[in-house]
Amino acid sequence: MEGLIFPILLVGIAALLFFQMRRQRKVMNEQQKLQNSLEVGDRVMTTSGVFGTVVRTHDDSVDLEIADGVVTTWLRQAIRERVESGSSEDADEDSEDSEPAGESATESSEERETADSETQKTG
């Protein structure tokens, strides 16, 4: 029994490594496919989290418009994913509809000041 533990452990580790490499290769192939299929007008996110629209493609780079009139050049490998054109705009609209964080912080500090002044009057 003791002689079987080591070979079983080796087979288990080898299987884990095999499946991990297989998954990693699949992810890399999908990423390569995405980077090769970029077209003008695609809305993308870079590996650093910058959102932009592809305005021009080159062999190994793409030009992204990240704001009105602001175009930057990125390596194709820096493009992480294609995003739906309305996803980041919807998030911006949601944050505009909600109460800004500064207002709620101001209200809570005003409430604290009122409570402090009332305690000073009574004390």
Give per-residue pLDDT as tens, 6-64.
Answer: 899 999 999 999 999 999 999 999 999 998 999 999 999 999 999 999 999 999 999 99
Q: What is the pLDDT of residue 99?
A: 47
Is residue 41 classed as helix, strand or coil in its secondary structure? Answer: coil
Give residue for tokens 């079987």: 4
Confidence (pTM)? 0.55
Nearest to 81 by CA among 40, 52, 113: 52
Lowest mean pLDDT among 38-42, 67-71, 87-91: 87-91
Is residue 38 classed as helix, strand or coil in its secondary structure? Answer: coil
A 10 A CB-CB count for 75 gives 13
Whole-angstrom distance, CA of residue 7 vs CA of residue 78: 42
The Cα-based distances of 52 to 24, 78, 107 in angstroms read 27, 12, 36
76 DSSP 8-state letter = G
